[in-house]
């Protein structure tokens, strides 16, 4: 898989851990920045990574900011992006399998590197969306995107 990665200054401390975890599974990383702890606006970086998923240049995305909340809110504004902040492994796989989550959001000031690794591995190893059981609900999510 190709995984788009983006972060702001608050997520920067997790960046190398996340990239190493992705690469440990032999997935390709598409790095959309930022590359320092210099203050930046996370929506600028979220947009780049999520557009890669939207246009199928990437299969999934992992976004990081201080709490994970800002990048999550921004990502969910982009059609076809289904993002969630996850700080537990159950949500990291269940979001993919039940809700078609394609973007994992992490808080660099909330979790440490070991949990970040676990979450990335769980998210990327999650079984594909099990459409039969959950497709009706997912269709209603898409309808919200299209109707509003």
50-61 b/e with 16+ CB inside 10 Å = b? bbbbbeeebbbb
As beta bridge partners, residue 62 has 5, 104
Query: What mean pLDDT value characterizes the chain?
Result: 96
- Active-site choice (9, 27, 65, 87): 65
pLDDT at position 68 is: 98
Alpha-carbon span 144 to 147, nearest angstrom: 5
- pLDDT tens-digit series, residues 40-91: 999 999 999 999 999 999 999 999 999 999 999 999 999 999 999 999 999 9
pLDDT at 148 over 80: no
Alpha-carbon span 88 to 13, nearest angstrom: 19
Domain 2-147 in CATH 3.40.1400.10? The answer is: yes
| Annotated domain spans of the chain | 2-147
Nearest to 70 by CA among 102, 36, 106: 106
- pLDDT tens-digit series, residues 84-111: 999 999 999 999 999 999 999 999 999 9
Q: Are 62 and 15 in contact (CB under 8 A)?
A: no
pLDDT at 132 over 90: no
Torsion angle, CA of 52/114/38/81, rounded to 10 degrees? 20
- Active-site choice (9, 27, 87, 98): 98
92 Cβ partners below 8 Å, 6+ apart? 86, 104, 119, 122, 123, 126
- Note the pTM of the prediction, 2 decimals: 0.96
Alpha-carbon span 66 to 41, nearest angstrom: 12
65 as an active site residue: the answer is yes
pLDDT at position 145 is: 84
């Amino acid at each position: 898989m190709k995984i788009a990665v983006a972060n702001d200054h608050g997520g920067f401390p997790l960046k190398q851990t996340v990239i190493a975890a992705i690469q440990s599974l032999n997935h390709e990383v598409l790095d959309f920045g930022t590359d320092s702890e210099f203050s930046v606006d996370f929506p600028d970086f979220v947009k780049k990574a999520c557009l890669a998923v939207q246009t199928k240049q990437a299969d999934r995305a992992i976004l990081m900011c201080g709490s994970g909340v800002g990048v999550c809110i921004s990502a969910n504004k982009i059609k076809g992006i289904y993002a969630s902040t996850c700080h537990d492994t159950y949500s990291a796989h269940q979001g993919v399998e039940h809700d078609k989550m394609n973007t994992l959001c992490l808080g660099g000031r909330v979790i440490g590197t070991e949990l970040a690794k676990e979450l990335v591995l769980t998210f990327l190893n999650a079984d594909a969306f099990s459409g039969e059981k959950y497709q009706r609900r997912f269709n209603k999510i898409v309808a919200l995107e299209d109707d509003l």
